Amino acid sequence: MATTTIDGKIYIWSKSGILQQTLIGHNGEILDINFFAHNSDINSNNSYKLISTGVDKTVKIWQVFNRYDHQAEEIDSLAISPNNPNTFAAANGAGQIEIWRNNYDGTQKRIRTLPGHLEAISQIKYSPDGSIIASASWDRTIKLWYSQTGELINTFKSYQDGINSIAFTPDGQTLISGSEDKTINIWNIAGKPKLIKTLAGHTDSIKVVTVSPNGELIASAGYDNTIKLWTIKGELLQTIAAHNLAITSLVFTADNQFLASGSWDNTVKIWWIKDAGKSSELLHTLSGHQDGVTTVSFNSDGTVLASGSGDRTIKLWNPKTGELIKTLRGHTSQINSLAFSNNDQSIISGESQQGLFWWNLDLDDLLNRGCDRLSDYLSTNPNVSSKDQKLCR
């Protein structure tokens, strides 16, 4: 159900009366709104678009997100399969891992649910070949699962506190993990998991670890507000005094040259990594979020950076210039995780209250489908100007 306000807001409600989205974009009273289905089937998994018109003489097309079949479920981490772009995994607040498939008709199906962990899952990751899902938890364990069957392969533990982050090396043979106990572990997971080395150096809890796409560098960060760069064998190369508050997220570009960091200080920073990780230069500080940044992700070619925040928005940035491209609004609580689809045409995001959101970034497709529904309205409504009547012709 959708309702409007005199100041131009649209509220989207569930059948049980829970506010799911707030759409902001009109300048003034909204005159009319109408739902239409994503694929011409209004019963197709609640995948809708919404058309609205207002006194500001604009017509807007909105995406109203799929609620899947768990409308009020916390999602803590997301991962998209590297070899099957229509499959993704989501870690829910109950410590379970759900495997989902996007169908060609725009609907989604939950394939299976893995029992997961005894406590909350902090992060899940697919192996580079997509055959394994790794999960890390506050129950102090890491688990490896066969992605196709959901069968548990191994459980391993060496930490004294919860594990916050994991990352595969590109060959899939090594797993890096970071913990609340301030240490980083390097694991050989070819066969029975074996601890290779423990790295110490951070002075507070480690929130995030990541590995460069070429497999040569480990980056780590956390509550000591610093980023540390290590060789893949564990030699410390440099420490960057990066942010004013805890660092929550790190991601390399595909060419290994740049690293983005997100922090509770409300900023995202982009670093140029030089001299094989021995030096770095701050290129941009991206400001705009009104609360802490919780997650960052580059698209496949590094031309767009997405950041999610406690302010319930996703921002898309041009990392080359530092300019804000777009702000995506609709979440009702903190965004915990986001990821680009493999073809960069969509973003999937998970939040603390309303679960999963799927954002369509294919503007041409969206406009074409919108004009299919709007053409009659624009050509026959006497309140639409003659110029605007030709918008979809």
Structure token digits, residue 129: 């070949």
The backbone torsions φ and ψ at residue 141, rounded to the nearest 5 degrees and listed phi first, read -120, 155
Give the model confidence (pLDDT) of 155-181 as tens digits: 998 778 999 999 999 999 999 999 999
Task: Give the whole-angstrom CA distance, residue 78 versus residue 355.
Answer: 11
Give the model confidence (pLDDT) of 252-308 as tens digits: 999 999 999 999 999 999 999 999 999 999 999 999 999 999 999 999 999 999 999
**How far, rounded to the nearest angstrom, does the alpha carbon of residue 310 sit from its chain's CA centroid?**
13
Q: Please state whether beta strands 59-64 and 121-126 pair in parallel, antiparallel, or not at all (unpaired).
A: unpaired
State the virtual CA torsion across 310, 314, 317, 323 in degrees, nearest 10.
Answer: -70
Highest mean pLDDT among 66-75, 103-112, 233-242: 233-242
Write the DSSP assignment of 190-219 as a string of letters: SSS-EEEEEEE--SS-EEEEEE-TTS-EEE
Region 214-241 average pLDDT? 98
Residue ranges covered by each domain of the chain: 2-64+365-390, 75-361
User: Which of the pair, 116 or 146, is modelled with greater confidence?
Assistant: 146
Residue for token digits 């990541």?
210
User: How many Cα atoms sit within 13 Å of 119 on the Cβ side?
Assistant: 12
pLDDT at 387 over 60: no
Task: Give the whole-angstrom CA distance, residue 135 versus residue 143.
Answer: 5
Task: Give the whole-angstrom CA distance, residue 184 versus residue 224.
Answer: 14
**How far, rounded to the nearest angstrom, does the alpha carbon of residue 199 sit from its chain's CA centroid?**
28
Contact 207, 199 (CB under 8 A): no
Second CATH level (architecture) for the domain 75-361:
7 Propeller (2.130)
The backbone torsions φ and ψ at residue 5, rounded to the nearest 5 degrees and listed phi first, read -120, 165
Beta bridge partners of 97: 91, 114
Question: Is the model's pTM score more than 0.85?
Answer: no
